[in-house]
Amino acid sequence: MNDVILAAENLTKEFKGFVAVDGVNLRVRRGQIHALIGPNGAGKTTCFNLLTKFLSPTRGTITYGGKDITAMSSADIARLGLVRSFQISAVFPHLTALENVRIALQRRRGDSFDFWRSQKILSRFDEEALSLLAEVGLSEFANTSASELSYGRKRALEIATTLALNPEMLLLDEPMAGMAQADVERITALIQRISANRTILMVEHNLSVVATLSNTITVLARGKVLAEGDYATVSQDPRVVEAYIGAGHG
Amino acid sequence: MTALTETNGATMVVERGNGSMPRYQIAIFLALLALSLAAPFFLYPVFLMKVMCFALFACALNLLLGFGGLLSFGHAAFFGSAAYVSAHAAKVWGLTPEVAIILGTLAAVVLGFVIGLLAIRRQGIYFAMVTLAFAQMVYFAALQAPFTGGEDGIQNVPRGDLFGAISMSSDLSLYFVVLVITFGGLLAIYRIIHSPFGQVLKAIRENEPRAISLGYRVNSYKLAVFILSAGFAGLAGATKAIVFQLASLTDVYWSMSGEVVLMVLLGGMGTVFGPLVGAAVIVTMQNYLASFGAWVTIIQGCIFVVSVMLFREGIVGVIAKLIRRPL
Ligand SMILES: Nc1ncnc2c1ncn2[C@@H]1O[C@H](COP(=O)(O)OP(=O)(O)OP(=O)(O)O)[C@@H](O)[C@H]1O
Ligand SMILES: [Mg+2]
């Protein structure tokens, strides 16, 4: 299982002369947990936006599962099984936690253009939605509207929603930012568990989480790949240490 | 079960349940129906029919604005062109009123498809501007086209015989036809809001990037709701043309687009019953203040400003908040 599932070649994004992502080459191997780290403003989120076509790259190509997806739309990339989460908690605030997850489960029906049917038929997804909520520790909040959840719980809800699609590959942008320690542990364990038959590319600032979870780490600084390897290699790389200290990150 | 939620400072009552209409909402619908059945014996049927047509128009816009999150500032295009087509069909082609209304509605659906296709590619205020621009084009078309009667409009449209059999010449008999159309429209819109499609629509309104990241091709949903909304706006306009026996430039004018937005905001956008209340208030006001002439517009403007400043959720939105139940 060592084949490359997601590859970016010379990925570049310029914003009015400012180069946020600069010739990045990235290979994520199937079945791995691959971490993307780097100081604030390094271009990690921009990379995610490019890989999922929320932004169009200025240059470069993206291949997923051997297929060139550089010209595809975001929604179609998600349909291929490459699903992202967002750095800023992305929930549907005025829907309940259960409904949030159900929106993702509903994708299994294909498109939902049936405006003449009652939404009662969606209740067949309730049981599964509840078990996904249980996985992230949100059982008791099933009927709470998402906007009432604490920040950490919104993140957990977002993960449950992403998992509901049962994606082949997940891109998680700081999934644990703003979570309490107990939740960090639960979500770390969850990510470990779900990674069994999936590939995960994850941005995370919590280095102990990165150390625990990831097989490969790519370090990004000022839009460029600075170093790549396992945790031991990367954490000892003087350029990496310098980039973090130079950015006042620690 | 219900609750209040707070996002970006705006409050909204969240609905929980399996999707069947809650009992108190059924009660409200039935009460409205009972009132509407009794009303023409106490109030002018023509006035009531006007309220109903505008209520349906406002509900159509609310489907797009309150549930699709898209502000159209050109809905008069659908209301007005359906009115012209229905008036033309009844007068020139001599078709029965129900066929005329259906043709008018279909015209609005086709126009909704064309304008929607071009408008949904824009976001927020640009979307509103594109819809306004197209509505202005429809207005000029109505002003110039040979069959619309220019400044005069299409007058003396015959009400005809329903199904070619039942005479609609009495206001009262037409009233009950309009009642069926309006309630049919309202229930259909209610179902759309509470369908699997409606659920996706709400998700797009709440967080479009997230909906995309889950694999929803959001533009198709936006187009679909735009066409549906245009269709119901057309149904309202086509019916109105038969009721007043008139289709005129007022129906396609931009102020008509603005008025219906006002009705939705005043009543409470994103609520089921808000647009009905908004339409009733505005139409009643226009009726009773008619003697003030141009002042009506100014009074209307003031009410709008006050309502936006005092209660952003609209009349029904505020009541829903007080009783902690979605209305
Ligand atoms: N739409 C945009 N227009 C202009 N500049 C942008 C845009 N998006 C991001 N940038 C800039 O690109 C750089 C990289 O931003 P990005 O969000 O990718 O960083 P990041 O590595 O995710 O940082 P963080 O750890 O803070 O999340 C930043 O300097 C940012 O200001
Ligand atoms: Mg980021």
Do the chains contact at A120 and B20, CB–CB below 8 Å? Answer: yes
Helix pair angle (B218-244, B45-62), 10° resolution: 170
Q: What is the pLDDT of residue B172?
A: 84
Do the chains contact at B213 and A102, CB–CB below 8 Å? Answer: no
Q: pLDDT (tens digit, 9 = 90+) per residue, B36-77? A: 898 888 889 999 999 999 999 999 999 999 999 999 999 999
Partner residue opposite A90 with nearest CB, options B6, B12, B210? B210
Q: Least CA distance to B219: which residue of chain A?
A: A75
Task: Please list, in sequence order, all residues whose beta carbon lies within 8 angstroms of the beta carbon of residue A211, skipping any fewer than 6 positions away.
Answer: A231, A235
| Topology (CATH) of A1-87+168-250 | Rossmann fold (3.40.50)
Assess whether the C-beta atom of A41 lies below 6 angstroms from ligand 1.
yes
Do the chains contact at B191 and A86, CB–CB below 8 Å? Answer: no
Q: Using CA atoms, how far apart are residues A165 and B158, in angstroms rounded to an integer?
A: 56
Identity of the amino acid at A37: I
> Could you tell me what percent of chain B has a pLDDT over 90?
55
Q: What is the pLDDT of residue B16?
A: 55
**Residue count of chain B:** 327
Q: What is the pLDDT of residue A236?
A: 84
Ligand 1, pocket-test mutation among A45, A87, A202, most atoms within 8 A of CB: A45
More confident residue, A219 or B5: A219
Q: What is the pLDDT of residue B7?
A: 40
Q: What is the CA radius of gyration of chain B?
A: 19
Domain ranges of chain B: 2-255
Q: What is the pLDDT of residue B1?
A: 37
Q: What angle do CA B195, B314, B29 make, to 5 degrees?
A: 50
Do the chains contact at B213 and A84, CB–CB below 8 Å? Answer: yes
pLDDT band at B321 (very low <50, low <70, confident <90, very high): confident
- DSSP-derived 3-state class of residue B19: coil
Q: Which of B195, B208, B271 to mutate to test the interface with A (most CBs of A within 10 A)?
A: B195
Q: What is the pLDDT of residue B168?
A: 74
Instruction: Provide ipTM, 2 decimals.
Output: 0.90
Q: What pTM was computed for the model? A: 0.89
Domain ranges of chain A: 1-87+168-250, 89-164
Q: What angle do CA B323, B196, B110 make, to 5 degrees?
A: 105
**pLDDT by position in tens, chain A (length 250):** 458 999 999 999 999 889 999 999 999 999 999 999 999 999 999 999 999 999 999 999 999 999 999 999 999 999 999 999 998 878 999 999 999 999 999 999 888 999 999 888 888 999 999 999 998 889 999 999 999 998 888 888 999 999 999 999 999 999 888 788 888 888 888 898 888 889 999 999 888 889 889 999 999 999 999 889 988 888 888 888 887 766 544 4
CB atoms within 10 A of CB A131: 12
Assess whether the C-beta atom of A87 lies below 6 angstroms from ligand 1.
yes
- DSSP-derived 3-state class of residue B144: helix
Average pLDDT over residues B112-129: 92
More confident residue, B161 or B17: B161
Structure-token match 């029919």, residue found: B49
Backbone angles phi, psi at A103, to 5 degrees: -55, -40
Ligand 1: nearest atom to the Cα of A223: 14
Assess whether the C-beta atom of A154 lies below 6 angstroms from ligand 1.
no
Residue nearest to atom 25 of ligand 1 (CA): A40
CB pairs under 8 A between A and B: 129
Residue nearest to atom 1 of ligand 1 (CA): A15
Assess whether the C-beta atom of A223 lies below 6 angstroms from ligand 1.
no
Residue nearest to atom 18 of ligand 1 (CA): A43
Assess whether the C-beta atom of A39 lies below 6 angstroms from ligand 1.
no
Assess whether the C-beta atom of A178 lies below 6 angstroms from ligand 1.
no
Do the chains contact at A103 and B215, CB–CB below 8 Å? Answer: no
Partner residue opposite B202 with nearest CB, options A73, A95, A123? A95
Q: What is the pLDDT of residue A1?
A: 45
Partner residue opposite A52 with nearest CB, options B3, B203, B213? B213
More confident residue, B131 or B8: B131
Query: Tell me, what DSSP letter sits at residue B21?
Result: P
- For chain B, helix, strand, coil in percent to 5 are 70, 5, 20
Q: What is the pLDDT of residue B19?
A: 59
Identity of the amino acid at A146: A
Structure-token match 């993140």, residue found: A155
Ligand 1, pocket-test mutation among A11, A15, A176, most atoms within 8 A of CB: A15
Q: What is the pLDDT of residue B6?
A: 40
Partner residue opposite B206 with nearest CB, options A79, A92, A114? A92
Assess whether the C-beta atom of A45 lies below 6 angstroms from ligand 1.
yes
- DSSP-derived 3-state class of residue B33: helix
Structure-token match 């809800």, residue found: A157
Q: What is the pLDDT of residue B8?
A: 39
